[in-house]
Amino acid sequence: MRYCSHCGSADIALRVPEGDNRPRYVCAACGTIHYQNPKVVVGCLPEWDDRVLLCRRAIEPRHGLWTLPAGFLENAESIATGAARETLEEASARVHVGELYTVISLPYINQVYMMFRARLADLDFGPGPESLEVRLFREEEVPWEDLAFRTITRTLRNYFLDRRQGAFPLRLSTLERRPPVKSDLLGAG
């Protein structure tokens, strides 16, 4: 943060305000404390019979890789409404939003993913401006090596396992920062 969004001053310091216990951006000119909190990503796992709908990303990050339709929750929006909106924007698909299915905390990037199971209303879908391609996949067709995000891989893996059991309990988990690949483990032997 370079300028105070309240008064425009550049005199901003990261410090622990009185009565608080963690550093915040505090404006020295007007005293405003600029709190920052995690962003919520909402999305759908749209189903049609035994297939699921995936989108191939037309934007960075992870251009060209596959994902479930998802994006940042907007202000004044419920999480289910946001999930349906993202599905419409990215896949031009109308869904009946069902149960909340995965909630994944990503503390290292300050995000929380909330993914719903959803039923496609019809087969009238196609790529929105942020997608190159949208299509339905059976389990054995899912491009596991070309999925864009670990949250999406985890949601899909849970889904196909739970589907065999015929029940979809809420899956609550946390993803930590991926440890760096140690170069001495590459090409060893």
- In DSSP terms, 12 is beta-bridged to 27
Short-list 120, 103, 124, 121, CA closest to 112:
103
- In DSSP terms, 93 is beta-bridged to none
Toward Zn ion, which CB reaches closer, 6 or 150?
A: 6
d(CA 37, CA 100): 22
**Residue selected from 1, 7, 59, 161 as contacting Zn ion according to rule CB under 5 A:** 7
Whose tokens are 């001053």? That residue is 9
d(CA 145, CA 174): 21
Toward Zn ion, which CB reaches closer, 9 or 173?
A: 9
What secondary structure letter does DSSP report for 69? Answer: S
Using alpha carbons, list the distances in angstroms from residue 110 to 27, 38, 175.
22, 5, 11
Stretch that binds Zn ion, among 3-11, 79-87, 103-111, 121-129 (CB under 5 A): 3-11
Task: Tell me: does residue 27 bind Zn ion (CB under 5 A).
Answer: yes
Short-list 130, 170, 160, 165, CA closest to 47:
160
Stretch that binds Zn ion, among 5-13, 39-47, 72-80, 94-102 (CB under 5 A): 5-13
Stretch that binds Zn ion, among 9-17, 65-73, 143-151, 159-167 (CB under 5 A): 9-17
What residues between 29 and 48 interact with Zn ion by CB under 5 A? 29-30, 32
d(CA 11, CA 31): 10
What residues between 132 and 171 interact with Zn ion by CB under 5 A? none
Q: How far is the CB of 106 from Zn ion (least distance, A)?
A: 30
Toward Zn ion, which CB reaches closer, 6 or 138?
A: 6
Task: Tell me: does residue 9 bind Zn ion (CB under 5 A).
Answer: yes
Task: Tell me: does residue 4 bind Zn ion (CB under 5 A).
Answer: yes
* Residues near Zn ion (CB under 5 A): 4, 6-7, 9, 27, 29-30, 32
